[in-house]
Amino acid sequence: MVKKVTENVYVIEHEEAANNVIIIGKKGVVLVDTSLFPEKAKSIAKFVREFTMKNISLVFNTHYHPDHTFGNVVFDVPVVAHTLTREKMEMFDHTYFESLGIDYFEPKLPDVLFDDTFEHEDGLKILFIHGPGHTPDSSYIYIPSESVLITGDTVINKIHPEIVSDSNLAIWLRTLEKLPKAKYVIPGHGDIGDAESIKNMADYIGKVKKLISGELNPHEIENDPNFANREHAEMLEWSIKNLIS
């Protein structure tokens, strides 16, 4: 499903899979995250051409996870990401693909790298900003003129987030506190939100942190709407195992 955010920003939602965001510039289109499957990425490229009459001229990966990066192989354009994103993706080998149940192919690695911020301008000023926590390389996009914030998996709406072994809850909270104020907040998974989405995510991560440290009773979380109203409760148990293993 395609949802309009502003005249220049649209979200391609895939139920619970990672969101893809298209940013329509003067000359070309920026695609944020490319999906897990190359065939899906091809469909996205075709849709963008037909919908905008422009080609995708730049790809951005919010972090290294395969549901945000494997579709890179479809695009013969520069791929922007944090330096650590490339380093993580360089570790994707046959064993990693087997663990995902996917036949091996050579991933396309990001080739335009940044450490703190990167700026792209094509009729719109687009800021790519490092915001670790969910993963060490996690980054987000801010488009001031559109009042749009594209968070990757730093913010997740209506679904339990994936907290992985290299997540850092304290750093994640600091990133959430520093996110630019925007009218529209586009999460890595889930519906388009606003400032309340960031507030809910900070509340969620803060309470998981307290649960791990023993400051919070599990029963308090069970009855908390910010937890009870999210889908895929099994993800919370999986995430806690990742944090304590």
Percent of the chain residues past pLDDT 90, beyond the cut? 94
pLDDT tens digits, 62-87: 999 999 999 999 999 999 999 999 99
Question: Which range (48-52, 67-71, 220-224) has the least confidence?
Answer: 220-224
Count up the domains in the chain and report the number. 1
pLDDT at residue 16 greater than cutoff 90 = no
Q: Which residues span the domain enclosing 114?
A: 2-244
Question: Which of the four pLDDT bands, split at 50, 70 and 90, describes residue 128?
Answer: very high
The Cα–Cα gap between 234 and 245 comes to 17
Question: Which of the four pLDDT bands, split at 50, 70 and 90, describes residue 219?
Answer: confident
* pTM, rounded to two decimals: 0.96
Give the domain CATH number at 122: 3.60.15.10
